[in-house]
Structure 1
């Protein structure tokens, strides 16, 4: 995990717990300071505003996933089926995990507050660039048909999330996904994506 100094980590851990329990509005910098120790100046020396602290808390919750997935995307197999099936299982397991579902609910609730939604979206978009880069390599090599890799990355994400994410976000489903469910849903999504972006020659061979 990325090393942070102990005070910064303590601030993030405390703020994350309070934000989850109370929401953004009911959590004050004074309360965070009281639990962490020190002064408000210490908090603001690490985070320019409460909004920035909130976004950093949400991003910290995703950090382990980000740090594990980016190297695998950069060194992915030349075969898109192998690479994307591996990515699909990892992504779906992450985005539908109880902790990350809770983070998404909190972000949706606070998205319109002082640009919080845009701050988080900009950070996540930077991460998604690695997926776009992987798809761009496959398109350049001819193993996927040529198209806009950024749009393709968004379609890929949407396909992976389609079956279960809304059920979890809106509490229509109370139990976490099993590994078998994650694997099966990921397989269906990746198979659909690969058919949609198959090279022209491959499509012609199926007709």
Structure 2
């Protein structure tokens, strides 16, 4: 029996190609936002890198988060056979905040490089914006997995258990990053260390899912 063709504008291949391009551009822009030495900075290059360690830390975190989000998106689209109008609409916030991430990464890096005190409103706001940006990316990815399962957009041979686990993981770490964004108003110095616990949150979610089976 021949598989019904997807309606025009709802072919998952074109959506995947477009999303891949957006992710690739955003990751490239992350590097373009890194501070570069000028003039006398070359005489004190080591100090220059030390002064801007916050910017390079922000770049590393953003790069890794974008990489894992893209990897999850790629894995998901390898297991679906069509998209729906809702999944297309969900790509609007997902890709919007992918593109916006280089900007919030730059804000977070520069406010930390400028050695602002912990109580400075600008530093707390920049940290919150960066964490909130990441949180929306993760939550949108979790919603995408959930929607694919709810609308049965996946292929018959797709690993449904893995898709469901990925949905829970991205919801969990998205909520965790949202909480760290809120925490930046009270304890901005501790927030970057909280981000390091993201793999533990993911591992804990997997363990809870295994216990429920």
Query: Which TM-score bucket, shorter chain as reference?
Result: 0.3 to 0.5
Query: How does the TM-score come out when normalised to structure 2?
Result: 0.35
TM-score (norm 1): 0.36
